[in-house]
């Protein structure tokens, strides 16, 4: 795993700022396909995550990987975040970590 | 031996519990806070930790606060079990740091066995620097099971950063002299409550509280309180009957009772022999 660059907290809207860079996002799984997982970002946008996570998957999933496009992430690391994760709080964290408190994160 | 002046500063200076007055006054204001700071547990992002300023091998500071023990939440991205210790790397997405957990006691070994590569963990440890490389000597580590803890940790990092840069920075600048900062040390960590004004009245009759101007009962309460704080009423075991207060102060009994009720719930007065006699809590 590449530990040299930070993995920025992103939601759907922030993803496009980091194309080609490493990001982390929490998605609510909609469906698993072969070679990808379709999910909803914490700000309710549809995101496709490429890769094959180890089943079973919980409803919330954190992915760390490279932002490939406005709505695609190529995942390197998958972590089950359980079924009762507060997506709204995470979404606020994404905004703060890319805004006022950016310097603590990136 | 006790006949002379008791020098509290000298007596307690060695104990390590009370910051010596002499020390705090001699140095600049940042060091008056130092005594408190060295005992804190500071939540940090690893970006903050790696950009912490240093003036030696083991002195780091972030936002003007000395770092001693830190709280980190991140993912274990590398791990090596050795005979006496476990070496691992924690990555929290903002950076990474080398960690070492010495395992001598059985409990330490068990704690470390619960932690696996790729897991999110919360750890507390001491930051050190060896040959220019920063690492954390971990004394407590556990896997994160509720992932809201990750969000919480980063939120806390932002809060503490804001607290140390804005709130506390402001108070030091405002205080100007060290004496003020020393007299009312600001809580440095989020776990302490913010300083609030003392409870109304308790410090004596002359106190004024601007926020009570809008309280219609304020005048009556103050008058009743002044009355009950008179020395002759303070020494009386039985307190004073409501009706006597009303008669002496020439205030309608109903108003006196209302005032007493509020003062009682504020903890300023208490009933004595029955529900109609009251006494001030001052010097109680």
Question: What domains does chain A contain, in order, with CATH numbers?
Answer: 8-88 (2.40.50.140)
Instruction: List Cα–Cα distances, B164 to A15, A92, B125, B149, B170, in angstroms.
Output: 31, 22, 20, 22, 9
Residue that wins the pLDDT comparison between B79 and B6: B79
User: Chain B residues contacting A, CB < 8 Å?
Assistant: 45, 47-48, 75, 77-78, 89, 91, 93-96, 118, 120, 146-148, 151, 154-155, 157-158, 161
Q: Is the pLDDT at B7 greater than 80, yes or no?
A: no
pLDDT at B190: 41
CB-CB neighbors (< 8 A) of A79 in chain B:
75, 118, 120, 147
Q: Which residue has the higher pLDDT, B3 or B222?
A: B222
Q: What is the percentage of chain B residues whose pLDDT exceeds 70? A: 68
**What pLDDT, on a 0 to 100 scale, did the predictor assign at position B119?**
95
Residue in A7, A97, A103 closest to B154 by CB: A97
ipTM of the complex: 0.94
Chain A: nearest CA to B93, how far in angstroms? 5
Picking from B169, B172, B97, B173, the residue whose alpha carbon sits closest to that of residue B133 is B97
Tell me how many helices (H) and strands (E) chain B has. Answer: 13, 12
Domains in chain B with CATH codes:
35-163 (2.40.50.140), 210-280 (1.10.10.10)
Q: How far is B58 from chain A (nearest CA, A)?
A: 22
> Which one, of B134, B268, B123, lies nearest residue B201 by Cα?
B268
Give the rounded percent of residues in chain A with a pLDDT score beyond 70: 96
What band does B72 get if pLDDT is binned at 50, 70 and 90? very high
8 Å CB contact of A104 and B161: yes
Please answer whether residues B30 and B164 qualify as being in contact, where contact means their C-beta atoms are separated by less than 8 angstroms. Answer: no
Confidence of residue B184 (pLDDT cuts 50, 70, 90): very low
pLDDT over threshold 70, residue B34: no
**Whole-number pLDDT of residue A5:** 72
Q: What is the pLDDT of residue B169?
A: 58
Residue range B24-47: average pLDDT? 63
**CA B156 vs CA A30, A85, B67, B253: distances in Å:** 31, 18, 16, 51
- What pTM value is reported for the model? 0.63
Handedness of CA B101, B105, B107, B110 (dihedral sign): positive
pLDDT tens digits for B105-116?
A: 888 889 999 999
Backbone angles phi, psi at B105, to 5 degrees: -80, 160
List, for residues B150-174, the tens digit of each pLDDT value. 999 999 999 999 988 887 654 443 3
d(CA A101, CA A87): 19
* Residues A34-91 pLDDT 10s: 999 999 999 999 999 999 998 899 999 999 999 999 999 999 999 999 999 999 999 9
- pLDDT above 90 (res B232): no
């Amino acid at each position: 795993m590449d530990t040299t660059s930070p993995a920025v907290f992103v939601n759907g809207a922030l993803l496009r700022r980091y194309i080609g860079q490493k990001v982390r996002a929490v998605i609510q799984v909609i469906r698993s396909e072969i070679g990808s997982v379709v999910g909803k970002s914490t700000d309710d946008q549809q995101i496709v995550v490429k890769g094959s996570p180890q089943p079973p998957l919980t409803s919330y999933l954190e992915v760390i990987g490279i932002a490939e496009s406005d709505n695609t992430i190529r995942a390197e690391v998958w972590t089950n975040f359980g079924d009762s994760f507060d997506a709204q709080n995470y979404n606020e964290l994404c905004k703060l970590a890319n805004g006022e408190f950016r310097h603590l994160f990136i | 031996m006790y006949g002379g002046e008791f020098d509290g500063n000298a007596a307690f200076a060695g104990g390590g519990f009370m910051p010596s007055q002499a020390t705090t006054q001699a140095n600049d204001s940042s060091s008056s806070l130092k005594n408190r700071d060295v005992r804190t547990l500071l939540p940090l992002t690893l970006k903050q930790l790696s950009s912490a300023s240093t003036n030696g091998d083991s002195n780091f500071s972030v936002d003007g606060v000395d770092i001693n023990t830190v709280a980190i939440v991140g993912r274990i991205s590398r791990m090596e079990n050795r005979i006496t210790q476990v070496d691992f790397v924690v990555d929290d997405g903002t950076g990474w740091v080398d960690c070492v957990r010495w395992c001598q006691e059985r409990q330490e070994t068990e704690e470390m066995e619960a932690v696996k590569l790729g897991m999110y963990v919360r750890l507390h440890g001491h930051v050190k620097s060896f040959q220019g490389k920063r690492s954390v000597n971990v004394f407590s580590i556990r896997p994160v099971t509720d992932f809201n803890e990750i969000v919480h940790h980063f939120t806390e990092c932002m809060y503490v950063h804001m607290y140390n840069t804005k709130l506390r920075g402001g108070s030091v600048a405002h205080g100007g002299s060290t004496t003020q900062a020393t007299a009312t040390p600001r809580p440095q960590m989020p776990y302490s409550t913010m300083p609030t004004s003392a409870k109304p009245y308790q410090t004596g009759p002359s106190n004024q509280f601007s926020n009570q101007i809008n309280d219609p009962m304020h005048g009556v309460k103050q008058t009743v309180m002044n009355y009950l704080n008179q020395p002759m009423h303070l020494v009386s075991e039985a307190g004073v009957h409501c009706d006597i207060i009303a008669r002496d102060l020439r205030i309608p009994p109903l108003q006196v009772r209302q005032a007493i009720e509020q003062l009682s719930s504020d903890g300023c007065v208490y009933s004595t022999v029955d529900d109609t006699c009251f006494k001030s809590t001052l010097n109680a």
